[in-house]
Structure formats: structure tokens, C-alpha cells
């Protein structure tokens, strides 16, 4: 069954390009479309067919993956002029791997159903490195049967143990929101405590070492803590995109009627990071905002 | 050298009692004092001598450990009437393992030096279970030579790999403050995201599972996340003591001139937990504050 799938891939950015290359490596016939020419050429050289529009991708593919920055981009690619919905085959599975609003996801899922297709939301975690190595975590919302059909495709881009069905349509995006909130809270307090240690005359590297041995241990303290110690904020995952994600988190929490006072402060600090010209830095550079406030 | 040390132990509470028992098990001659009679009798039966006051403990011991709730308690036990400083031997090492203000620690350290003794601050992490199992993390501030002298004693209570010299006097307490900030931030956002997932109709257990595989992974999500899912808030580590710790964190950050906006909100939420009658719950019960706000 899987061998007969033709996969369409729309959006060959920092994440999408290596993900699409991993699909080719795994042997899937691939049709691609992207606004930027460079990555399209790379994929063509690697063996992908090139389509002139999302509609054309959809006409050729049984499974269509989208990986674009934000909700309006997904809306345009799926429901816009020359969009996927204009060419989509009956029975196709659409997999939106972008990180977007769960509300928009659910609306587009209903529209897809109207065209005889199934939309899964399948945002990822793991960054550019995870995309390149094919070790992404993939949080899937939507029809479980459709997920089983496309699981071999997702397994080619992610860690098969971390391709997880979270729940119905939108649940993948809700999970991604939760992921970004968890990381943000940890990142902000690691930044705060490193500012405090430094200003108190205590070696923040020693503090990190001690904390990693106990209940305070986290991947953020381990990986981003190291970046913060070295003040190395080369992306990685850009703060501008993280700011978008925290915006979705705030909007989602508000629409669900859930007060999130700590995440709200984190979102404001991420906003301060972007406002002060650090949108292109890695999001671990959030520490700069706290360090600047404390003159560390 | 170590075999000749007589260890004094003051404060046989939830943490102190099992820590003192581990010293006996390791073969150290032990003199104890505590306000509560029950634990004193337990220690006496296990082979410890009982002293009538902290001063008497200090007269008999070459190393004196204090493990009491807060800064005023340590001040009273060391510098108060019949306190350690009244009986302390020249060359003694005092180890305060309580979690208290770094400012108070530094003042008491200078006083101890005036009596010919050395005070180390050595707060712990790992809770009652760590105290019982002898696997505590111990964050040490003060003279490095004194630490090497008492290291075998600390190793009997903690994980030897996690008995870490952080820096000069007060650095252990600063590190403990950092530890509590890191845990608090993680705990608050885990609570927020579980409230959000639940209210959005997504299984928070699935979300936890997915997040544990990626960058959002933390010991807090793993251990306290499980408690929150089961709504099991039996202590463990009481919220009342955590509230005290976050108070020290706020005071320390303020006195160092370090804005800690995220930790400040966490401290307020912990205050709300205590104010709403949950001081006796495990601190992971912070989730209740967020869940109540969202009517989850």
C-alpha cells in the first residue's frame, strides 16, 4: 500500500527541505513545490518532480505534506487560488506539519473533508537538526486510520517511537502549543537563575552542573543552558518563529478559557527579545533579555 | 582523620532524622539535639548520644550539622542562647544543611570564623526520599579545604557524585535558590499546559508522553507531571517549605538587583497555593491553583 503512495511536499524551508530529502532517501516518489527556487533545485537534483503550484502537487500526489511558517500560509496553500483543495484527489491524506493555530487546523480539516480528503495536523519538535537527522518528534491530530496509512511516511522524517497520535483534529497543534509552553517556562527560569548566579558571584556553570543532577534537570538546562553559558545564539530555531508559536499559545489558552500567567510572562519576554532586534537569534537567546535587564 | 571526627546533628525533622540515621549507619560517632522528642529517642536507640542544647552538642563534636527550617532557626541554633557558638571547639567545621538566606549564611559564616570555626552552607535537594536513601544532592559553599575534611560525612548522606563545591560562603544557598527557581518555573508551566490540554479536550497523559521525548523533557514533567495526572499531592516536599524557599529566592534576586519576572509569578502562585489552604500538600499541588483558575 505504502509503496504506491506518491508524496507531495509543499514548503522547502529550513525544516521542509531536509524532511523532503529524507522522504526521497526512504524511496518515496516525491513531487515538490516551494516559493524559494534554491531548495526546489536541490530536491529536483535529488530526484523529486517539481510542480508549478500546490494544486498541481495535489493532482499528482496521494499524500500531500505542507510545511510552511504560519496559519495564513497554510490557509493560502490549501484553500487559496491554485491551492491544494483545487487539485486534491478523493481519498488523499493531507498532512500539515506546520505549527499553526488549532482553530484554523480544525476549520481546514472540515474543508478537506468536503473535498473527500483527510487532513492530519502533525507539527514537529526537534528543530533543524532533528529534521536533517530524521529524528523529529511528530504530534499527530486527526483520524487514526489515516495516520496508520501515512505512518511509514512520517517514520521516514521522525523517530518512529515519537510519532504519537495525540487525539482528534487539532490535538497535534494543541500538543505543540503545550511543548512550546513547557520549553519557554524552563528557558526563562534558566535564564533568570543564570543571571542571578552570575550577579551573586557564583559560577553559573557550577550551578548548571549541580542542578542537572537533581529534580531541576531538564533538556533545556542541559542543551540551552550550555548555549547560554557560551552566549552562542546562532540558530537553531529562530526566536521570530518561537514568538509566533507563543502567540498561538496565548490565543489558544484565551480561547479555551485557561489562564496561563507564567506562560504569559514568557510570551512577553519573547516579544521583548524580538522587539530588541534578536528575532534572528536562536530562541535560547531569550537569556539576553533577562541578562540585559540585570546588566549581567 | 575522618575516623576521629565526632559529628553533632541538630534538627531531627523529616529530613534531619533519616540523614542522622545514615551517619550512624556509616559508623560516625553522633551527638544529637532536636526540639521534638520522638526522633531524639529513635536516634538514641540507634546509638546516638543525646545533648541537652546546641551548645552541648558543639562541646562534644568536631563537626556540627544543622538541619532546621528557616534562617531565624539557624540564627537561634548557632548564635542564640545555649547555641552552638557558646560551645564550639576551635577548628570545628559547622555544616548548615538548611535552606536559608545566603545573606544570613554569610553573616553567620563570619561569626563562626570569630569563634575559630568554619561554617559551610550545604543545602540539599532530593527530598525526604533522597534523605532516607542517602542520595541527596548537596550544594556546598565555603572553604574548600573544610569541605574536603567533611566530604566523607556528606557522602554518607548524599550521592558522592552530587556533593558539589559551588563557591565561597553563601554559594551553596545561591545554588539552592537557583534549583528552586528552575523547578518552580517548570512546575508552573507543566500545570498550565495540562490545564490547557484538558480544557481543549486533549488527553494530558498523551501530551506528557509526547513532550517527554523532546526538548520539553524534564524531571518535573516526568515525576511531578505524573503526580499531577493522578492528582496525588501527598508530600513529599510540603508547599509551605517551598513557599519559604521562593521567598528567599525573591529576596535574594532583589538584593542582587536581578529582575526575575517569571519566577516572581511562580512565587505568587505558590503563595496562592498556601493561602488557599494547601500548605501541607506536596509542592507539585501547585497545579491545583492553575486548575482551579481554569475550572479544570
Please give, rounded to a whole number of angstroms, the shortest distance from the CA of B239 to a CA of chain A. Answer: 15
Residues 6+ apart with CB under 8 A from A281: A233, A234, A235, A238, A239, A273, A288
Specify the pLDDT at position B4. 81
| Mean pLDDT within B62-82 | 98
Specify the pLDDT at position B3. 54
Is the backbone peptide bond immediately before A236 cis, with ω within 30 degrees of 0? Answer: yes
pLDDT digits (tens, 9 = 90+) for A36-46: 999 999 999 99
The ipTM estimated for the assembled molecules is: 0.95
Contact B282/B238 with Cβ under 8 angstroms?
Answer: yes
Closest CA to A165 of A174, A36, A59, A226: A174
CB contact under 8 A, A196 and B177: yes
Round to whole Å and give the CA distance between A259 and B294: 6
Residue A1 has pLDDT above 50, yes or no: no
Average model confidence (pLDDT) for chain A? Answer: 97
3-class state of residue B65 by DSSP: strand
3-class state of residue B113 by DSSP: helix
Within an 8 Å CB–CB cutoff, is residue B270 touching chain A?
no
| Mean pLDDT within A291-295 | 97
| Grid cell listed for B42 | 529513635
Round to whole Å and give the CA distance between B74 and B99: 10
Chain B residue with minimal CA distance to A291?
A: B258
Contact A153/A5 with Cβ under 8 angstroms?
Answer: yes
Q: Single out the catalytic residue among B17, B25, B90, B176.
A: B176
pLDDT digits (tens, 9 = 90+) for B234-245: 988 999 999 999
Q: Exposure pattern of B165-182 as b/e (b: 16+ CB <10 Å)?
A: bbbbbbbbbbbbbbbbbb
Residue A182 has its nearest CB partner, among B183, B206, B216, at: B216
| Grid cell listed for A51 | 510542480
| Mean pLDDT within A5-20 | 97
| Mean pLDDT within A120-126 | 96
| Mean pLDDT within B249-271 | 98
B contacts of A289 (beta carbons < 8 Å): none
Specify the pLDDT at position B200. 97
Residue B160 has pLDDT above 50, yes or no: yes
In this predicted structure, which of A1-15, A157-171, B38-52, B211-225 has the lowest mean pLDDT? A1-15
Round to whole Å and give the CA distance between A89 and A63: 9
Specify the pLDDT at position B110. 98
In angstroms, what CA-CA distances link A288 with A14, A36, A127? 24, 32, 21
Q: 10 Å Cβ neighbour count for A275?
A: 11
pLDDT digits (tens, 9 = 90+) for A65-98: 999 999 999 999 999 999 999 999 999 999 999 9
A contacts of B202 (beta carbons < 8 Å): 166-167, 171, 174-175
HSE on the CB side for B152, CA within 13 Å? Answer: 14
pLDDT band per the 50, 70, 90 thresholds, residue B2: very low
Residue A6 has pLDDT above 70, yes or no: yes
Residue A227 has pLDDT above 50, yes or no: yes
Q: Report pTM.
A: 0.95
Residue B196 has its nearest CB partner, among A209, A260, A268, at: A260
Closest CA to B139 of B152, B123, B150: B123
Residue B189 has its nearest CB partner, among A166, A181, A219, at: A181
Specify the pLDDT at position A3. 54
Round to whole Å and give the CA distance between A99 and A79: 17
pLDDT digits (tens, 9 = 90+) for B106-148: 999 999 999 999 999 999 999 889 999 999 999 999 999 999 9
DSSP label of B88: P
Please give, rounded to a whole number of angstroms, the shortest distance from the CA of A294 to a CA of chain B. Answer: 5
| Mean pLDDT within A96-104 | 97
Q: Give me the domains of chain A, ranges plus CATH numbers.
A: 2-169 (3.40.50.720), 175-294 (1.10.1040.10)
Round to whole Å and give the CA distance between A88 and A64: 9
Contact B137/B130 with Cβ under 8 angstroms?
Answer: yes
| Mean pLDDT within B35-40 | 95
Round to whole Å and give the CA distance between B62 and B58: 7
**A-B contacts at Cβ under 8 angstroms:** 271
A contacts of B121 (beta carbons < 8 Å): none
Question: Which residues of A are annotated as catalytic?
Answer: 176
Contact A147/A165 with Cβ under 8 angstroms?
Answer: yes
pLDDT band per the 50, 70, 90 thresholds, residue B173: very high
Amino acid at each position: 500500500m505504502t509503496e504506491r503512495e506518491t508524496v507531495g511536499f509543499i514548503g522547502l524551508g529550513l525544516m521542509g527541505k531536509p524532511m523532503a530529502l529524507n522522504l526521497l532517501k526512504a524511496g518515496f516518489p516525491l513531487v515538490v513545490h516551494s516559493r524559494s527556487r534554491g531548495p526546489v533545485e536541490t530536491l529536483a537534483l535529488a530526484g523529486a518532480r517539481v510542480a508549478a503550484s500546490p494544486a498541481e502537487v495535489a493532482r499528482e500526489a496521494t499524500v500531500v505534506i505542507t510545511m510552511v511558517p504560519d496559519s495564513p500560509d497554510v490557509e493560502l496553500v490549501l484553500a487559496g487560488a491554485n491551492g491544494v483543495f483545487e487539485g486534491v484527489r478523493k481519498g488523499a491524506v493531507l498532512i500539515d506539519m506546520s505549527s499553526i493555530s488549532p482553530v484554523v487546523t480544525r476549520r481546514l480539516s472540515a474543508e478537506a473533508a468536503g473535498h473527500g480528503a483527510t487532513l492530519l495536523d502533525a507539527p514537529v519538535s526537534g528543530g533543524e537538526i532533528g529534521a536533517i537527522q530524521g529524528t523529529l518528534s511528530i504530534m499527530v491530530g486527526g483520524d487514526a486510520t489515516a495516520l496508520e496509512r501515512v505512518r511509514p511516511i512520517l517514520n521516514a522524517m521522525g523517530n518512529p517511537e515519537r510519532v504519537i497520535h495525540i487525539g482528534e483534529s487539532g490535538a497535534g497543534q494543541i500538543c505543540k502549543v503545550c511543548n512550546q509552553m513547557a520549553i519557554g517556562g524552563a528557558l526563562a527560569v534558566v535564564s533568570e537563575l543564570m543571571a542571578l548566579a552570575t550577579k551573586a558571584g557564583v559560577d553559573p556553570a557550577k550551578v548548571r552542573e549541580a542542578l542537572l543532577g537533581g529534580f531541576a534537570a531538564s533538556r533545556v538546562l542541559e542543551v540551552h543552558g550550555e548555549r547560554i553559558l557560551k552566549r552562542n545564539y546562532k540558530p537553531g530555531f529562530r526566536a521570530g518563529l518561537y514568538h509566533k508559536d507563543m502567540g498561538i499559545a496565548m490565543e489558544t489558552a484565551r480561547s479555551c478559557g485557561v489562564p496561563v500567567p507564567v506562560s504569559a510572562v514568557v510570551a512577553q519576554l519573547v516579544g521583548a527579545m524580538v522587539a530588541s532586534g534578536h528575532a534572528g537569534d536562536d530562541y535560547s537567546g531569550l537569556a539576553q533579555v533577562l541578562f540585559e535587564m540585570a546588566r549581567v
